[in-house]
Structure 1
Amino acid sequence: MRASRLINILTTLQAKGLVTAEALAAENDVSVRTIYRDIDALSLSGVPVYSERGSDGGYRLLDGYRVRLNGLSSAEAEAMFLSGIPGAAADLGLGSLMAGAQKKLTAALPEDLRESARRMQSKFHLDAPTWLAEGEQPVYLQAIADAVWNSKRIRMRYRSWKAEKNRVAEPLGIVIKGGAWYLVARVDDTPRTYRISRVLDLIVTDEHFDWPKTFDLAAYWDDNTRRLERELYPNWAVVRLSGWGLKEVEHMSPPYVRTNLEFIGEPNEQGWRTVRLPVAQERMAVSEMLKLGTEVEVIDPPELRAAMHRAVKSLIARYSEASDLTR
Structure 2
Amino acid sequence: MRASRLLSILNTLQARGQVTAPALAEALEVSVRTVYRDIDALSAAGVPVYAERGAEGGYRLVDGYRVRLNGLSPREAEALFLGGLGDAAEDLGLGAAAAAAQIKLLAALPQEQRASAEQMRARFHLDAPGWFTDADRPAHLGAMADAVWRQRRLRIRYRSWKGEVERIVDPLGIVMKAGAWYMVGAVDGSVRTFRIGRVEALEVIAEGFVRPSGFDLATYWKASTERLDAELYPHVAVVRLSPLGLRILTSVSPPFVRAGLELDAPGPDGWRQARLPVGPYQQAVYDLARLGPEVEVLEPAEFRAGLAELLARAAALYRTRRGRPSRAGGQGALRARRA
Q: What TM-score does the superposition give when structure 2 sets the normalisation length? A: 0.64
**AA of the residue aligned to 1:291:** R
Distance change >3 Å, CA 132–CA 257, structure 1 → 2: farther
The gaps in structure 2 that reach 5 residues or longer are 11-41, 46-66, 72-79, 110-125, 327-339
**AA of the residue aligned to 1:159:** R
Q: For 1:172, what is the secondary structure of its paired residue?
A: strand
> 2:81, 2:5 → 1: CA distance?
16
> 1:100, 1:311 → 2: CA distance?
57
Aligned to 2:318: 319
**AA of the residue aligned to 2:168:** V
> 2:272, 2:93 → 1: CA distance?
50
Mean Cα deviation higher: 290-299 or 194-203: 290-299
Q: CA deviation at 1:217?
A: 0.6
Q: CA deviation at 1:258?
A: 2.1
Alignment of 1:39-188 (within 5 A): 67-68=69-70, 83-106=83-106, 130=130, 133-188=133-188
> 2:178, 2:94 → 1: CA distance?
20
Q: For 2:307, what is the secondary structure of its paired residue?
A: helix
Distance change >3 Å, CA 106–CA 293, structure 1 → 2: same
> Cα RMSD (Å) of the superposition?
3.3
Alignment of 1:242-321 (within 5 A): 242-264=242-264, 266-321=265-320
> 2:245, 2:6 → 1: CA distance?
45
Q: What TM-score does the superposition give when structure 1 sets the normalisation length? A: 0.67
Q: Which has the larger radius of gyration?
A: 2
Q: CA deviation at 1:134?
A: 2.1
**8 Å contact 1:82–1:88 — kept in the other structure?**
no
> 1:147, 1:251 → 2: CA distance?
40
**8 Å contact 1:67–1:108 — kept in the other structure?**
no
> 1:256, 1:202 → 2: CA distance?
34
**8 Å contact 1:147–1:153 — kept in the other structure?**
yes
> 2:219, 2:108 → 1: CA distance?
26
The gaps in structure 1 that reach 5 residues or longer are 1-10, 18-62, 70-79, 110-125
> 1:312, 1:238 → 2: CA distance?
18
**AA of the residue aligned to 2:307:** M
Q: How many residues align?
A: 244
Distance change >3 Å, CA 221–CA 313, structure 1 → 2: same
**8 Å contact 1:135–1:179 — kept in the other structure?**
yes
Q: For 1:137, what is the secondary structure of its paired residue?
A: coil
Distance change >3 Å, CA 132–CA 223, structure 1 → 2: farther
Q: Deviations over 1:19-47 (max 9, x none)?
A: xxxxxxxxxxxxxxxxxxxxxxxxxxxxx
Q: Deviations over 1:202-252 (max 9, x none)?
A: 101111111223001111111111111111111110011122322332333
**8 Å contact 2:318–2:324 — kept in the other structure?**
no
**8 Å contact 1:172–1:186 — kept in the other structure?**
yes
Distance change >3 Å, CA 246–CA 158, structure 1 → 2: same
**AA of the residue aligned to 2:70:** R
> 1:151, 1:16 → 2: CA distance?
31
Q: Deviations over 1:131-150 (max 9, x none)?
A: 76321101101111111111
**8 Å contact 1:138–1:197 — kept in the other structure?**
yes
Q: For 1:200, what is the secondary structure of its paired residue?
A: strand
> 1:303, 1:263 → 2: CA distance?
22
Distance change >3 Å, CA 15–CA 294, structure 1 → 2: farther
Q: For 2:320, what is the secondary structure of its paired residue?
A: helix
> 1:174, 1:232 → 2: CA distance?
23
Q: CA deviation at 1:16?
A: 9.2
Distance change >3 Å, CA 220–CA 293, structure 1 → 2: same
**8 Å contact 1:171–1:184 — kept in the other structure?**
yes
Q: Deviations over 1:48-68 (max 9, x none)?
A: xxxxxxxxxxxxxxx999843
Higher relative contact order, chain-length normalized (CA < 8 Å, sep 6+): 1
